[in-house]
């Protein structure tokens, strides 16, 4: 494992954090139905978390000698509630898996602070995922 590979991985993560902010912004705008107001607020609140993760990653990439990406990952654009929630659930699951890999890389290279921060970010992403899963499991949203 090289520092360059870690930076490359962090840039991938950064592009997905940008994508997550876009996905939550999009979801807040298009969420339909009776529960629109509550879900719109929920999605809007998540944008701030994702942008916080992106800011950390960009600064860490610079600190490691890299150049942060400005490209966002592609995001799906469902318009039905179930599709919106499923797309978010998939994105959060994928993100947690990528961060698990990044944690291993940080540990291998001896970047203790990065390892610890990634653990915190995984906790955030897992909480997001669990909230969305609860919504999908709620009979009112079926």
Domains and CATH numbers, the chain: 3-141 (1.20.1260.10)
In the chain, the percentage of residues whose pLDDT exceeds 90 is 92
Q: Give first-to-last CA distance, the chain, whole Å.
A: 45
DSSP symbol at 20: H
Q: Cβ distance 17 to 53 under 8 Å?
A: yes
Residue 109 in this model has a pLDDT that exceeds 90: yes
User: Using CA atoms, how far apart are residues 94 and 89, in angstroms rounded to an integer?
Assistant: 9
Say if residue 43 is exposed, middle or buried (CB neighbours under 10 Å; 0-12, 13-18, 19+): buried
Decide: pTM greater than 0.85: yes
pLDDT in tens, 15-64: 999 999 999 999 999 999 888 999 999 999 999 999 999 999 999 999 99
């Amino acid at each position: 494992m090289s520092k360059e590979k870690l930076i490359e991985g962090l840039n991938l993560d950064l592009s997905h954090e940008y994508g997550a902010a876009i996905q939550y912004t999009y979801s807040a705008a298009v969420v339909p139905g009776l529960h629109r107001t509550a879900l719109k607020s929920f999605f809007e609140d998540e944008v701030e978390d994702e942008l916080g993760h992106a800011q950390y990653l960009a600064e860490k990439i610079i600190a490691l000698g890299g150049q942060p990406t400005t490209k966002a990952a592609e995001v799906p654009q469902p318009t039905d509630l179930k599709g919106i929630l499923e797309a978010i659930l998939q994105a959060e699951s994928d993100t947690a898996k990528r961060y698990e890999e990044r944690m291993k890389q940080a540990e291998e290279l001896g970047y203790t602070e990065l390892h610890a921060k990634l653990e915190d970010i995984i906790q955030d992403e897992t909480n997001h995922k669990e909230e969305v899963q609860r919504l999908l499991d709620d009979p009112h949203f079926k």
